[in-house]
Structure 1
Amino acid sequence: MSSTTLHPKDVAMDDPTSKTRDFGTSRHYEEEDELYTVHVEVRLKQQSTARVDFIKDLVMEHLMQDDTIFVPSEITGWEMESRMEQNVQRITACETSSPTNTVKIENAHLEIHVYQPIACEQDDLSTGNTKDDVIAATVTELPCIEWDTLWDSLIYDSNVKPHLLNYLYSTFILSEANVDFNLVAWNRQSYFMDRTGKTSLCKALAQKLSIRLSERYSQCRLLEINSHSLFSKWFSESGKLVQKLFLSISELADDEDVFLVVLIDEVESLTAARAGAVAGQEPSDALRVVNALLTQLDRMKQRKNVLFLATSNLVGAIDPAFKDRADIVQYIGLPPTEAIYDMLHSCLVELMAKGIVQQMNIPNRQISDTPNRAAMAGIKEWDVSSSLWALSAKCKGLSGRALRRLPVLAHARAIARGAPVTLFTAPARESATTSESSRNRIHPKQRTRSAEKWVQDMEAVVQESRVQLERLE
């Protein structure tokens, strides 16, 4: 699929009587308005065969009907247009360069990205052609349906996601402009270290870039390198396996219409510090692996269509020369209380949408984290929000992976304590076409858990987990 950059004024008629202001001079533009980039993602239905430029025109026309656009938000109202309803599945305003979440349409520099995700298909990449060859990497075609909500599920306490995405996007723009590497240097390598969510963030970045760069590349692939498999049982073979792997990557990159994101998970397996090898603490084969990897990374940096991402939990084990080659070294820590609230809130919203938890408009963090929270005591929705804040504070120190599991453990605990369970029938899964009355018949209120009880169950699970950890210690 492809993307384009549009501005509302580009579609205005050249009519001297038009109310649209004339931006013919740069001085007038600079004094009167500042344009802010707004990225809008348009996901097509699987059966859609519509031309991308046709969809872009329809989306642009729809956006022009409003005075402002809120970012991030899901765009609505387009379903009334039959041509869009037949082809479009979702429209989302994702990111913006504006310092505020609300952007006036007349000041919006719209970048519309149209994409059609595919089922997650994975292939193995080996180091040769015989059955004894090592499976060195897994290749995933992007954008894939299974990762389409991965980006939104990752919540941090700072602007980690837009910072990384904008940087990687910038390296692509500089590459396409043929900027001289000797004057402006970058290696297309980013390194993520410590704690939680690193691999998921790398996959989400790859998914986002495959959508952003869909205009330039016809295909995008993520190569996940199996670091442990590259150490051969035969002495001195590991360095050769690294060379063979990068030869395969180079062959894939020969097709300039394919964008490759190479993820080296647990990179410490390949980049154990050479100082340890010299001191005799590591085998000499490990030294050859580090040297081979660094050499191949230097050779690959001239490729415009290849990006390297790496993760590690053992910062001290990484060779300094590898870290020095990374354009960004990003620490990903455990989520703070505010991010935990966002995660648990999103879990409850999803369970409500699927009929597992009773519907309730629980305030999000931006609304609830205010002095008004105490003043709103006694109102059911705000009481649940206060309980969720208290639970979030108790969850501090848990990883994002553990927090996402918390509702499942709470559900299992509720079942064990005799809570009624409704098995979903086939019609119930068709929530988009099932009427409200039908859903109520399938999921009577007495068979759904209240949000208050869900929060209580999650709190009980956290307390029980703490007790178990203390016993182990």
Structure 2
Amino acid sequence: MDSNDLTQWVVHIEVRLKPRVARSFETLRGHVHDWLTSSFERISLPSSLEGWEDIPVLASAVEHVEACESVCPHPSLAISEISFQIHIYQLSSTDTFEEYTNHDGVQTGEDDTTASTVWELPNRSFEGMWESLIFPDTVKLQLLDYIQATFVLSDADIDFNLVTWNRVVLLYGPPGTGKTSLCKALAQKLSIRLSHRYPQSRILEINSHSLFSRWFSESGKLVQRLFTSINALVDEEDTFIVVLIDEVESLTASRAAVMAGTEPSDGLRVVNALLTQLDKLKHKKNVLVMATSNLMNAIDTAFIDRADIVQFIDLPPREAIYAILRTCLMEMMSKKVVEPVDVPTIADARMYERAGDFTSMSPSEAPEDPDLLSVYVAFRLLELAAECKALGVSGRALRRLPVLALAKYIGVGSITTHLSPPMSMKNVQANGNGRPVVTNGIPRHVGRAADVVTWLGAIGKVLKDRPALPV
């Protein structure tokens, strides 16, 4: 086969630098490319890459290298099939960059609340959030592709009067499904992917509730005042801005309800002001507006019509729940809270399920053989995932299950972690039951990592204790 006939798949490589490293990004990009092409025959997607530690110029500057998700349907690619796009970035450790209040320098009592908060991107607070979000389909990649499409059309100088886009995304669905987290994670991802265009990126999160004034007719003015600040940020053309409007129904209550007299007339001014400001922003290339809602039916249709993407984010299905619970277990194993064991991926678990490997397994009898124990863990996780699905447990509540399991059924005193203060043996009074002992007036814990079977059983008990579980 002619090498020119090979399909080239774009693979994004994200290279996180150590704090305070001052190196030419372009030079480092070249070193990373040379290392990738000389060290690998195939690359798994996605995966954390290792081996750069052996290259002195990379070892002194790099903190982490990640091969990201790809639209490629294959789990791995040969180097000859890859077109690399390498993104070099450093994290900002600043939590809050700036806060905008909803007054004009005049103290007005209870109205002096934070109208919005700005973070520099990419931010350490959001690192790892993208990978931790697990959805049943390609929602994340679709959102990334949408942003890329708008830049392709902008670069082609497409006539905006003939082909229009607003760069507005609306995510809606039940509470706790990860909508707000997805918006923040997408902003973080875009700040990395677009760093060659925009050396600076920021996310501005609007506090919707603070924009309603206790003074009649003031709320519309507050929206205009806030967007004046936003426009000042957007005018910096080398800065990419993501505007996040959480619980957007607070600002975009249906004008039909206002006209019917079921909503205050001040809400009409807020909706009109917001729509006017969005129409002004759509001509700016360096801004993306993301909104979330738990109450889709309460949003004004004119706002929905301005959204290029209206995406429903549902409660996770069984496969996504399995993957979420697996990441929880893997994290606790890495921190020595749970004894390590091989936890199969959802793909392997489904393979075991189709092959009938679970038919002889009992939830109360775990095998001692490590390979069979791994299959047993997959079996129990699938059972727990099905229970969570039947109960309608949200993604947010899923990640609380290990905490509730530890507190209610395992016992804090039975776990020893690396966070415990160092103790000399002569000062430790072990009482043999793993309960806290007091040394020099300080409670200590004597115990060890719990086995995975105990943890899975405790999570099952939490699910049966439904009043104690927010869903």
Give the one of 76, 83, 88 matched to 1:109. 83
1:129 alignment counterpart = 105
Give the one of 22, 25, 33 matched to 1:60. 33
Q: Is the 8 A contact 2:119 2:204 kept in 1?
A: yes
Give a deviation string over 1:147-172, Cα, whole Å, max 9, x none. Answer: 11100111011111111111122223
Instruction: Provide the secondary structure at the position in 2 that maps to 1:114.
Output: strand
Give a deviation string over 1:379-420, Cα, whole Å, max 9, x none. Answer: 111111111111111111111110111111112124548634
CA RMSD of aligned residues (A): 2.3
Paired residues for 1:136-155 under 5 Å: 136-155=115-134
Instruction: Provide the secondary structure at the position in 1 that maps to 2:357.
Output: helix
Instruction: Provide the secondary structure at the position in 2 that maps to 1:95.
Output: coil
Alignment pair present for 1:76 and 2:27: no
Give the one of 241, 256, 262 matched to 1:260. 241
> How big is the shift at 1:467?
4.8
Give the one of 386, 406, 412 matched to 1:411. 406
2:451 alignment counterpart = 450
| In 2, Cα distance between equivalents of 1:191 and 1:67 | 41
| In 2, Cα distance between equivalents of 1:57 and 1:95 | 22
Residue identity opposite 1:126 in structure 2: T
Residues 414 and 239 of structure 1: is their aligned pair in 2 closer, same or farther, counting only changes over 3 Å? same
1:44 alignment counterpart = 17
Give a deviation string over 1:111-134, Cα, whole Å, max 9, x none. Answer: 111110111421211342334355
Give the one of 349, 358, 361 matched to 2:339. 358
| In 2, Cα distance between equivalents of 1:360 and 1:231 | 52
Q: Is the 8 A contact 1:47 1:87 kept in 2?
A: no
Alignment pair present for 1:390 and 2:366: no
| In 2, Cα distance between equivalents of 1:248 and 1:52 | 31
Instruction: Provide the secondary structure at the position in 1 that maps to 2:303.
Output: helix
Instruction: Provide the secondary structure at the position in 2 that maps to 1:151.
Output: helix
| In 2, Cα distance between equivalents of 1:425 and 1:467 | 32
> How big is the shift at 1:46?
0.9
Alignment pair present for 1:202 and 2:145: no
Q: May I ask how many residue pairs the two structures share in their alignment?
A: 428
Residue identity opposite 1:253 in structure 2: V
> How big is the shift at 1:356?
0.9
Instruction: Provide the secondary structure at the position in 1 that maps to 2:414.
Output: coil
1:438 alignment counterpart = none
Paired residues for 1:175-186 under 5 Å: 175-186=154-165
Q: TM-score, normalised by structure 2?
A: 0.86
2:429 alignment counterpart = none
Q: Is the 8 A contact 2:410 2:455 kept in 1?
A: no
Instruction: Provide the secondary structure at the position in 2 that maps to 1:374.
Output: coil
Paired residues for 1:273-352 under 5 Å: 273-352=254-333
Residue identity opposite 1:232 in structure 2: S
Identical positions, percent: 48
Residue identity opposite 2:283 in structure 1: Q
Q: Is the 8 A contact 2:121 2:188 kept in 1?
A: yes
| Structure 1 residue runs without a partner (length 5+) | 1-20, 24-28, 429-443
Q: Is the 8 A contact 1:232 1:238 kept in 2?
A: yes
Q: Is the 8 A contact 1:68 1:102 kept in 2?
A: yes
Give a deviation string over 1:266-293, Cα, whole Å, max 9, x none. Answer: 1111111111111111121111111111
Instruction: Provide the secondary structure at the position in 2 that maps to 1:307.
Output: strand
2:441 alignment counterpart = none
1:191 alignment counterpart = 170
Q: TM-score, normalised by structure 1?
A: 0.86
| In 2, Cα distance between equivalents of 1:223 and 1:424 | 35
| In 1, Cα distance between equivalents of 2:113 and 2:139 | 35
